[in-house]
Amino acid sequence: MESSNEWMNDPELKNIDRAKLDFLDKMFVQSTSINKSGTPQERQKKMMAFLLSLNSLSRENNITFQKEEVSLIFSVLKKYSTSDDIDKMQKISSFFQSR
């Protein structure tokens, strides 16, 4: 996903706390920067470390998501994303759902 946060203003997200959306936006920007340099193995290693840190980052920021929120956010993000971005989001989403 590009650094544009247009998705955050989608009317379907009007009932989701803006702090949660800001947290997600920062997460996507950070994950995009991880995938810009290094070999595929290095990028994968960095991404795994990032994904593992998400749990503590969300706790530190007092951010939790209900399953319904995750589903809604994911459906909105799909409208603004490339297929590669959707694949990344599915990996991140599955990580949180396994917790």
The number of helix segments (H) and strand segments (E) in the chain equals 4, 0
Note the pLDDT of residue 16: 94
pLDDT score recorded for residue 97: 61
Q: Residue 93: is its pLDDT beyond 80?
A: no
Q: Rounded to an integer, what distance in angstroms lies between the CA atom of residue 52 and that of residue 67?
A: 19
Q: pTM of this prediction?
A: 0.69
Helix (H) or strand (E) holding 17: none
Residues of the chain with pLDDT > 90, as a percent, come to 13
Q: In the prediction, which pLDDT does 12 show? A: 96
pLDDT, tens digit (0-9, with 9 covering 90-100), for 43-86? 888 877 887 787 788 888 888 888 899 889 888 988 888 888 78
